[in-house]
Structure formats: structure tokens, C-alpha cells
Structure 1
Amino acid sequence: MTQTRLDLARIRQARHVVDPVFLNTPLYRCEALEPVLGCAVSIKLETANPVRSFKGRGTELVASLLAGSAAPAAVCASAGNLGQALAWSGRTRGIDITVVAPRRAARVKLDRIRSLGARLELVDGDHEVARERAAAIARHEGIRLVEDSLDIETCEGAATIGLELVRSTPTFDTVLIALGGGALATGVGHVVRALAPGMEVVCVQPHGAPAMTLSWHARRVITTDSADTIADGVAGRRPIPAVLDDLLLVADDAVLVQEASITAGMRLLLDHAGLVVEPSAALGIAAILEDRDRFAGRHIVTIVCGSNIDMDAYRRLVGTSGVRI
């Protein structure tokens, strides 16, 4: 494999740095989904931790490096999950954390960031506007700017998920990975390509936020003017060139799915797996729904990457207004 920015030895070492609360998340075959989807489906449940997403694996690495500095502080832009994770990792190590988020981000995510002791600044606009503001704060205050997917720690933290997947028995034919900035996809993809090259790596993104997928197919960065999707966790418009370079080396395919398929995937995960998930976490199921023939008869593993969603919004999306959850 041509070299990516990631390093397998560092990824293995990361398991000794990341708080065990984020490691060895449940991985199990969900037989109840199989008659509906037409293939064997296993779930890697990255919501079973204090921040209810995979992001804590990466922020643990970032925070471990910052903890030894004289006045540790960091700022990040986040739709919610990275901000929660960085706030959690910073709080346990005495690091001053600032999170810049779009004002329209999910309230449950914003409330959780505040409750974890981080300073929260809201901006009008989308994630790209928040990234620009976070960079300005970092320059002005002279503190660490944490950039998801660009900072290698966020990728190599996520890559520890790959180590857990490749050591499983039985092995999988395909791993379906939500694609946003690219930390999860490049991290898991790097490990799979190195240690389980027979496993197909398929990235999944919404049609309403297709920038990274379009870039992967074109083999060059393509930006979009807007992002319009319920999957706010993957709603970027400007792919990072270095991350795209990594993704081109580790992904076998990148596909786009419709909003209706995402909500259908969320509903299936509730009805057949008892899981309440945010839209980004249902992208893998959505991909199977839209191309059943491709995955028929195969053993698929999908990474359920987050469950931070306002429950009123969740009920509207999955049509459970009359159900107590």
C-alpha cells in the first residue's frame, strides 16, 4: 500500500493512551436485520461510551499531548460530536476547551458541550464558517487548533476501531463507513487495507453533502456551495486535500444515499436493533437499502458512529410521535 499519513505502529500504541472507556465497543451480528436487508449485518456500536460517538478515541490522543504544556488550551469547530469529545477529554486533564459550533446544531449536543465545562461560541452559518472562526480564535489566543481529520490524532484514534474489526471472527466482506471530514474512513480504512486487504472499504455520504465523495471519484478536491442534509455530522463542503489523498489510498468505493434512505435506516435500527441513532450513524444501512443486489449474500459490518440527537427531532424523522422512547 502506498503510504498514507497514518502509521500502524502509532495506531497500536494509541490503544495504550485512549481511556479504555472508549475501546472494545460492542461488535455483534444483528440477525434481526438480515431478512430485511438480504445480507448478514454486524454492528460496531460506537455509541456505548460517555460522549456517545467514536470521536473520543481521537480527542484522547489530542488531549494526552496537550496535558503536559504550561497552559493547556485548545479550540475546535464542531457540529457537536467532536466538541463533546474534546470537552470530555480536556476536562479529565485540566485543559481549557473552546468549541465553535453552528447556531443551528442539535441542542442536545450544544447542551452537552456546556455541561462538560467547555466554552461554547455559536456562529451563524455552517461548519465551514465555524472552522474559520475556530482558526481565528486559535491565532488570537495562541492555542492549539484541533482540526478533525486534518490532525492525525483524530484519524489514528478512529483507526483503533479498525484494529478491533480486523481481529474479529468471523471476518467481514465489507465495512460501511460514514464519510464526513474523513477521520473515521481514513483511520479504519488504513488498518483494514494493511491487515485485512480482502475486506472492501465502502464510504457513505448523503446526496445533500457530497463534497468528499465527489472528490474521491474525481481524484481531486471538489467543494460545494452548500450542504443540505439531516446528517449534520457529515455535512462538510470543503474537503481537506491531505485527507482526500489518504482516502484515495484506502477506500474501495464512495457512494451517496438519499435522505429518505437515511431515515429508513434509522427506523430499521430502532425496530430491529433497539438503537436510537443520529442520521450519520444510519448511513451504512441506507447504502444497503439503496443497493441490495450489491451486498446480497455478503457479511457486512457497519459502524454506528453516533447517537447524539434531539429526541423531538428523532421522533419527527422516524415517525415515532406516538411512541415513548
Structure 2
Amino acid sequence: MQQTRLDLDRIRAARRIIDPVFLDTPLYRCEALEPGLGCAVSIKLETANPVRSFKARGTELVAGLLAGGASPAAVCASAGNLGQALAWSGRDRGIDVTVVASRRAARVKLDRIRALGARLELVDGDHEMARERATAIARHDGIRLVEDSLDVETCEGAATIGLELAHTAPAFDTVLIALGGGALATGVGHVVKALLPGVEVICVQPRGAPAMTRSWHARRVVTTESADTIADGVAGRRPIPEVLDDLLLVADDAVLVEEASIITGMRLLLDHAGLVVEPSAALGIAAILENRDRFAGRHVVTIVCGGNVDMDDYRQWVGLVAA
């Protein structure tokens, strides 16, 4: 395999830096999902931790590098999950954390960022505008800009999920990975291709936010003017060239799914797995729903990557009403 920016030895070493509370997350066969999907389905559950997403695997590495500095500080742009994770990782290491987010971000994510002690700045507009503001703050204040997916630590932290998958049994033959900025897909994909080369790596993105998927198919960066999806965690418009280069080396396919399929996936995970998940976490189930023939007879692992969702929105999406 051609080399990505990631390094397998560093990924293995990362497990010694990441707080164990984020490691060895549950992985289990969910037979209750299978009759409706037509294939064997295992869930890698990345919501059973203090920030309810996989993001802290990466921010633990960033915070570990920053800790001990004279005046350690960092800023990031976030739809919510990265900001929570960086706030959590920085809190006990004495790191001053600033998070820039869109005013349209889920309230539950913004409230949790504040509760974890980070400084929160809101911008009018989308995540790309938050990235621009975070960059300006970093430049003005001379502090570390944490860029999800571009910073290799965020990818190699996520890649530790791949190590855990590689040591599982029974064997699986497909892994479905939510695709946004690319940290999760490039990280897990790198390890899977290195250690489980026969496993198909399929990335999944909403049709309303297709920039990285279009870029993967075109083999060049393709930007979009807007992103329109309930899956806010993967709603970027401007792929990062270095990340796309990595993704081209480890992904076997990248597919787009409809909003209706995402919502159905969320409902299936609630009804048959007892899981309340954010829309991004249901992308893998949505991909199976839209192409049952492709996955028939396979053993598929889907990474349930986050559970930070505004409950009022969630109830509306999945059709829950108060008694």
C-alpha cells in the first residue's frame, strides 16, 4: 500500500497516551438489526464515553503534546463534537481551549462545550466560516490551531478504532465509516488496509453535503456552495487536499445517502439496538438500507460515531411524540 501521512507505529503508541476511558469501546453483533437489513451487522459503539463521540481519541494526542508548555492554549472550529473533546482533553491538563462554532450548531453540543470550561465563540454562517474565524484567532493570539483531519493526531487517534477492529472475532468483510472532514475514514481506513487488506472500506456521506465524496470520485478537491443535511457533524464544503490524498489510498468506495435513509437508520438503531444517536452515526445503516443487494450475505461493521443530538430535534426526526 502507498503511504499515507499516518504511521502504524505511532497509532499503536497512541493507545498509551489516550485516556483508557475512550479505548476498547463496545463491539458487538446486533442480530436484531439484521432481518431488516439482510446482512450480518456489528456495531462499534463510540458513544459510550464522557464526550459521546470518537473525537477525544484525537484530542487526547493533541492535548498530550501541548501539556506542560508555558501557557498552553488551543483553538478549534467545531460542529460540536471536536469542541467537546478538546475541552475535555484540555481541562485536566491546564490547556486554555477556545472553540468556534456556528450559531446553528446543536444546542446540546454548545452547552456541553461551555460546561467543560472552554471559551465558546459563535459565528453567523456554517462550519467553514467557523474554520476561518478559528484560524484568525490562532494567528492573532499565537496559539495552536487544532484542525480536524488536517492535524495527523486527529486521524491517528481515530485510527486506534481500526486497531480494535483488527483484533476482533469473528471476521468481518466490510466496514462502513461516516465521512466528513476525513479523520475517521482515513484513520480507520489506514489501519484496516494495513492489517486487514481483504476488508472493504466504504465511506458514507449525506447527499446534501457531498463535497468529500465528490472529491474522492473526481480524485481532486471539489467544493460545494452549501451543505444541507441534518448530519451536522459531516457537513463540510471544502475538503482538505492532504486529507483527500490519504482517503484516496485507503477507501474502496464513497457513497451518498438520502436524508430519509439517515432518519430511518436512526430509528432502527433506537428500536433494535436501544441507541439514541446523532444523524452522522446512522450513515452506515443508511448505506445498507439504500443498497441491500450489495451487502447481502456480508458481515458489516458500522462505526456508531456520536450520540450528541438535540432531543427535541431527535424526537421530531424519528417520530417520537410525548404521551
TM over 0.5: yes
SS in 2 for 1:34: helix
Give the % identical residues. Answer: 85
Matched, 1:12 2:8: no
SS in 2 for 1:117: coil
Matched, 1:123 2:110: no
Matches within 5 A, 1:137-148: 137-148=137-148
Work out the CA distance in 2 between the residues paired with 1:104 and 1:222. Answer: 24
Please name the residue that 1:59 is paired with. 59
1:132-183, CA deviations, whole angstroms, 9 ceiling, x for partnerless residues? Answer: 0000000000000000000000000000000000110011110000000000
Please name the residue that 2:202 is paired with. 202
Please name the residue that 1:69 is paired with. 69
Work out the CA distance in 1 between the residues paired with 2:35 and 2:93. Answer: 46
Matched, 1:238 2:268: no
Work out the CA distance in 1 between the residues paired with 2:266 and 2:92. Answer: 32
TM-fit CA distance, 1:202: 0.1
Runs of 4+ aligned structure 1 residues displaced above 4 Å come to none
Between Structure 1 and Structure 2, how many residues are aligned?
A: 323
1:201-226, CA deviations, whole angstroms, 9 ceiling, x for partnerless residues? Answer: 00000000000000000000000000
Please name the residue that 2:256 is paired with. 256
Please name the residue that 1:104 is paired with. 104
Please name the residue that 1:133 is paired with. 133
Please name the residue that 1:189 is paired with. 189
Work out the CA distance in 2 between the residues paired with 1:312 and 1:128. Answer: 26
TM-fit CA distance, 1:111: 0.2
Please name the residue that 2:316 is paired with. 316
Matched, 1:172 2:206: no
* Gaps in structure 2 of 5+ consecutive residues: none
Work out the CA distance in 1 between the residues paired with 2:57 and 2:252. Answer: 24
TM-fit CA distance, 1:69: 1.1
Please name the residue that 1:95 is paired with. 95
Work out the CA distance in 2 between the residues paired with 1:60 and 1:134. Answer: 20
1:224 maps to amino acid: T
1:229-288, CA deviations, whole angstroms, 9 ceiling, x for partnerless residues? Answer: 000000000000000000000000000000000000000000000000000000000000
2:180 maps to amino acid: G
1:237 maps to amino acid: R
Work out the CA distance in 2 between the residues paired with 1:311 and 1:128. Answer: 25
SS in 2 for 1:270: helix
1:13-65, CA deviations, whole angstroms, 9 ceiling, x for partnerless residues? Answer: 00000000000000000000010100000000000000000000000000000
Matched, 1:220 2:217: no
Work out the CA distance in 2 between the residues paired with 1:70 and 1:290. Answer: 52
Please name the residue that 1:291 is paired with. 291
Work out the CA distance in 1 between the residues paired with 2:322 and 2:25. Answer: 31
Work out the CA distance in 1 between the residues paired with 2:145 and 2:201. Answer: 30
Please name the residue that 2:36 is paired with. 36
TM-fit CA distance, 1:322: 3.1
TM-fit CA distance, 1:68: 2.0
Work out the CA distance in 2 between the residues paired with 1:2 and 1:215. Answer: 19
